[in-house]
Each structure stands twice: as C-alpha cells, then as structure tokens.
C-alpha cells in the first residue's frame, strides 16, 4: 500500500490528489494521497508529519506553500540541490531516514524550455520556496538572475545563497530600471480567489521582448499573463510545471515514470 500526502496551508484547491491518484492508477499501484493542513508556524504539525515518513507510515510527502523552508529542521538529510536552494517540496524515506528533495527546479526548467530554451536574464518576483527553486534552476543554467521581493531582507537572504544572483525591492522604480528577457511570478498574487491581484505593477509596461511566466496555475491564465499576452508577449502558466514536479516526485517514491500526457488528461477531465 503506497501512502502519499501533501502538507501546506491552505489546501482546499490543490490539484495534487487528482494527479497522484491518476498516477497510482496508471502504474497499477494500490494507495492513496491525503491532505494535511498545517498552519504557518505550527512546528509540532510539521515535525509529526516528518516522523510519519521516518516511521514508514507515509511512503512520501509533498510540501507546499508556506512550509518549503520551515520543514527543513525536521529532516535527517537533504539532496545536494535542495541544500543549495534551501527549499524542499518532497520528502522520501531512505534507510529509515527522512530525505528532503526538490522537484520544482527541474520541473520549472522542463516547462520553460518548451517556450524559451536559453534565458539570458531573468527577474523573479517573490523570494519564497518556489522562488528559490526557480533561482537555482536558472542560475545553474548560467542565466543572470535578479530576485525582487516586497521584503528586501528576504530577497537578500535568497541572493546570498547563489553567487551572482542580485536582490532588489519589488516595486515600480526598481523594475523599471531592468530589461530581463524572462519575468517569473513566484508569489501567490493572481491565485484563486484573489484573481485580480498581480505582482508586476499594472502601470509599468513590460520589457519589450520578455517572456512572462506565472507559477500560479489556478486560474490557468492569470491576470498577469492576460496583460502580458495583450502586450504581445509570449506567456507560460504554471500547469506544465505542476504536472512535471508531480511526476518527478511520484517517480522518487515509487520508481514509476508516469506519462505526462496521462496526467494532463486527468486534470483536463477534472477541470472541465
Ligand atoms: P511562499 O514560500 O509562501 O513564498 C511566497 C512569496 O511571495 C514570498 O516571497 C512572499 O513574501 C511573496 N508574497 C506573498 N504575498 C505577496 C504580496 N501580496 N505582494 C508581494 N509579495 C508577496 O510560497 P511558494 O511555495 O514560494 O509559492 C508561491 C506561488 O507559486 C504559489 O502561488 C504556489 O502555488 C506557486 N507554485 C506553483 C508551482 C507549480 O508547480 N506551478 C510550484 C511551486 C509553487 P512574504 O514572505 O513577505 O509574504
């Protein structure tokens, strides 16, 4: 019996149960995927779930907003990439130890390459767990990365993890001064139900040749992407990354490599 789950807050609109249930079925495995709502700052709740993975009561656990960093003190080991990023989105059990890994970074690059194979300079809006994965993934491919956050100290803390990554204040004045070929929204702005909010200032034109990418996948096309498309730019939503990070996590837990088309189809059916 494969017991999988997700910890985060809030979780009502998560698509992960649907994806992993479809993956279990496709691989002919018996199991389930449970949701564990743990409020921000609830260390006891995070520790208890890490213990369940350590004890083998859970085969694997996904970690989402806002716990991708907060879970780290409860783990026995980190993969080299997760250690460099300082963010974890998947827990596995290896020889009685809980190991933190990160499938967001490779998933982001796979999704991005469908539209922009060689980004040269990028600005990431937000400096939380997903921003760390994106910064790592872009930095590792030689892209010039700037992280823009509403709390400058959070942007600085992220930047110091990677040589050459720059930090800036998220705001009109600083964004106006740069000309990236990739903009990535790694904040929850625009996510259901707050669909009218956006991280890029509404009164600031986009850089003329930028590709605009939003990690938010609900709605499939956010207000930010609609505005960028309206300005004639190429856009990428968060769904491709969501599917890829889930498939990579599922492979870590079960060894089974699920066809991405199958996962996409299961989501389409559920959404329609
Ligand atoms: P997180 O760790 O909580 O980080 C969120 C970041 O956004 C923080 O820097 C936060 O700043 C900032 N932020 C929040 N509200 C803001 C606001 N009103 N104005 C400006 N900045 C704001 O969350 P995460 O795990 O990185 O996730 C971020 C988003 O990416 C979520 O919508 C998540 O669903 C999405 N995501 C998608 C995928 C995918 O596969 N497509 C994967 C990962 C994440 P403060 O710390 O100051 O609040």
Residue range 125-175, pLDDT digits in tens: 999 999 999 999 999 999 999 999 999 999 999 999 999 999 999 999 999
Better-scored residue on pLDDT, 38 or 271 = 38
Q: Whose CA is nearest to atom 2 of ligand 1?
A: 128
Residue range 184-202, pLDDT digits in tens: 999 999 998 999 999 999 9
Cβ(92)–Cβ(60) under 8 Å?
Answer: yes
b/e code 86-104 from CB counts within 10 Å (16+ = b): bbbbbbbbeeeebbbbbbb
Dist. CA 178–CA 153, nearest whole Å: 20
Say what the pLDDT of residue 272 is: 64
pTM for this prediction: 0.96
C-alpha distances (whole Å) from 70 to each of 129, 135, 200, 269 are 10, 19, 27, 34
Q: Is the CB of 215 under 6 A from ligand 1?
A: yes
68 is catalytic: yes
Q: Which listed residue (52, 68, 160, 209) is catalytic?
A: 68
Dist. CA 88–CA 78, nearest whole Å: 8
Tokens (6 digits) for 237: 């939503």
């Amino acid at each position: 019996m494969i017991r999988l789950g997700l910890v985060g807050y809030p979780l009502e609109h998560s698509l992960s149960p649907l994806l992993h249930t479809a993956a279990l079925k496709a691989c002919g495995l018996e199991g389930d995927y449970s949701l564990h709502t743990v409020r921000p700052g609830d260390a006891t709740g995070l520790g208890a779930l890490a213990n369940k993975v350590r004890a083998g009561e859970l085969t694997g656990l996904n970690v989402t907003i806002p716990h991708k960093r907060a879970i780290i003190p409860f783990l026995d080991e980190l993969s080299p990439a997760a250690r460099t990023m300082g963010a974890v989105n998947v827990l596995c059990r290896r020889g009685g130890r809980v190991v933190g890994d990160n499938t967001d970074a490779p998933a982001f690059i796979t999704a991005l390459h469908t539209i922009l194979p060689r980004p040269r300079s990028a600005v990431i809006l937000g400096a939380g767990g997903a921003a760390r994965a994106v910064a790592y993934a872009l930095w590792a491919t030689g892209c010039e990365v700037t992280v823009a956050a509403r709390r400058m100290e959070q942007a600085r803390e992220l930047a110091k993890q990677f040589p050459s990554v720059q930090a800036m204040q998220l705001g009109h004045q600083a964004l106006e001064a740069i000309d990236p070929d990739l903009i990535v929204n790694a904040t929850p702005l625009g996510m259901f139900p707050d669909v009218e909010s956006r991280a890029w200032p509404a009164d600031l034109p986009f850089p003329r040749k930028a590709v605009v990418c939003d990690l938010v996948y609900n709605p499939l096309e956010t207000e930010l992407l609609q505005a960028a498309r309206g300005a004639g730019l190429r856009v990428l939503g968060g769904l491709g990354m969501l599917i890829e990070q889930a498939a990579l996590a599922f492979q870590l837990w079960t060894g089974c490599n699920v066809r991405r088309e199958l996962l996409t189809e299961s989501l389409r059916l559920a959404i329609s």
